[in-house]
Amino acid sequence: MRLSQSVVGGKEADAVRHVLCEDGYLGMGAATMRFENELAEYLGVKPWQVITCNSGTASLHLAVLAAVARFSSRGTLPVQPAILVPSLTFVASFQAVLAGGCEPVACDVLPDTGTLDLADAEARLNENVIAVMHVDYASNPWHLDSVYEFGQKHGLAVIDDAAHAFGCEHHSRRIGSFGDLVCFSFDGIKNITCGEGGCLIAFDPQSAQVAADARLLGVEGDTARRFAGGRTWEPDVRLPGLRYHLSNIMAAIGSEQLKRLEPEFAPARRKLYKLYSDLLCAVPDVELLRTDPEDYIIPHIMPIRILNGKKDKVKSALQCNDVPVGTHYRPCHLLTLFGAGAVSLPHAEQLYGELVTLPLHPLLCRDDVTRICDIIKNTLA
C-alpha cells in the first residue's frame, strides 16, 4: 500500500512514444501547445492565460514575478517586498516567494480547515506587502472568495496555490476559471501528473506576458515562435527569466492524464474520501477537516486530526500495520530558513500536533480504507 501514487499506463506511454519516435522534437513545441489549449478548454479560459512550466514550484515563482512586475508598473516597489502566506503549506510556497525576491510573511490558519486565517493575515499587513497567497489546503478552496475581496480591498495581487485543487469547483466555478494568479502542480502524485510539471493561469495580459517570457529566460515572445515551430535567434531580453518551460514529453503525459481525470480519477478519489469520512466521522478523538462539499472537490490528500495528544499512538499503530502515513505539513514558520519559530502561530502549531495523512489515490481499494479505519477505531477505543 502507498500513501499516494501516480496512476499512469499504456496511454501515457504511447503518447511519450509518439513524441520520441514520430514527432522527434522533445523541447517545448506542438505537444506543449496542445496541452495548454486543452487546459484552457477544460478550465474555460483563453489559451494566452495558460502558462505551463516544469513544476508547480516554478508556476508559483512565475506568479510572484508577475505580482512584483505589476506592483512596479503601478508605483514604487518596497525595498523588501513581502507576501502573506499561510504557514501550513508545502515548503515550495515559501521558497517560491523567496526566489521571487520577496519575504514570506507566515500567517496562521483556521483550525477547522487548515486554510488561511484572514484576520491573522490582516493583522500582519504593512506597507511592504504586495500580495497574499492562499493555499487550497487538502483541495479545499473554502474562504477563497473572501481572500479575493481582501486582495482587492488592500490593492494586493492574489496568488492561489491550487496544487491540491486541480479539477475542484468552488461555488459552481472551477478553480483556475476565475481569480488573479492561480498555480497548479502536475508532479507525480497530484490529481493529474506530467511526471513533473505545473501551470500558472493568469487573468491579466501583462501578468501572462511577464510569466510566459520569464519561463523562457526572459526571451521576449519566444512562446509564440516556439508554438509556430521556430525559435528566437536575435532576442531582446529586458527582464530576468528562468528555464522553466514544459517539454513536449511531459506535456504529452499531461494530455492523457487530463482525459482520465473526470471519468476515472475524480470518482475514484471522491468515493474513497467519502468512505473515510463515513467510517471516521463518529470516532471519538478523530476530527475531520471541514471542507467544501465532496461532490465539488477532487480530494488530493486525506489529512485527519487526532485530538487529545493521541496522534503519535495512532500513527505508530498504523505504521505497525504497514499503513504508510504522512504529515501535511510541518508549518513553514518552524523551519530554520523561515524563522525557526520566532513567531508563534497557535492554530498551525496545534494542527501540526494533530494531523495524520492517510493513504489516498485511485488505486487504493475500499477494503484498504476499511482496514485503516478499523485500526484507528481500535487504537482509540
Ligand X SMILES: *Cc1c(COP(=O)(O)O)cnc(C)c1O
Q: Which residue in 35, 90, 276, 296 binds ligand X (CB under 6 A)?
A: 90
Q: How far is the CB of 324 from ligand X (least distance, A)?
A: 17
185 forms part of the interface with ligand X (CB under 6 A): yes
Q: Which own/partner pairs from 214-220 qualify as long-range (CB within 8 Å, at least 24 positions apart)? A: 214/62, 214/65, 214/66, 214/239, 214/240, 214/241, 214/242, 214/244, 215/51, 215/53, 215/58, 215/62, 215/241, 215/242, 215/244, 215/245, 216/28, 216/241, 216/243, 216/244, 216/245, 217/241, 217/242, 217/243
Site residues for ligand X, 116-145, by CB under 6 A, read: 135
| Pick 254 or 376: Cβ nearer ligand X | 254
How far is residue 46 from each of residues 56, 177, 203, 315, measured CA to CA in Å?
20, 10, 9, 45
Q: Select 198 or 299, whichever has its Cβ closest to ligand X.
A: 198
| Nearest residue (CB) to ligand X, 352 versus 376 | 352
| Residue 193 within binding range of ligand X, rule CB under 6 A | no
Ramachandran area for residue 194 (φ above 0: left; ψ -120 to 50: alpha; else beta)? alpha
**If you write DSSP's letter for every residue of 273-293 in order, what string do you get?**
HHHHHHHHTTSTTEEEPP-S-
- Regarding 164 and contact with ligand X (CB under 6 A), the answer is yes
Indicate which single residue of 92, 175, 202, 210 sits in contact with ligand X (rule: CB under 6 A). Answer: 92
Task: Please tell me whether residue 96 adopts helix, strand or coil conformation.
Answer: helix
Residue 231 CB, shortest distance to ligand X, in Å, is 26
Q: Tell me if residue 2 falls in helix, strand or coil.
A: coil
Shorter beta-carbon distance to ligand X: residue 87 or 93: 93
Smallest gap from Cβ 182 to ligand X, in A, equals 12
| Least gap, CB of 106 to ligand X (angstroms) | 14
Min separation Cβ 56 and ligand X, Å: 2
When the beta carbons of 167 and 198 are compared against ligand X, the nearer one is 198
26 to 65, contacts with ligand X by CB under 6 A?
Answer: 55-57
Q: In the complex, which residues of this chain contact ligand X (CB under 6 A)?
A: 55-57, 89-90, 92-93, 135, 161, 163-164, 185, 187, 198
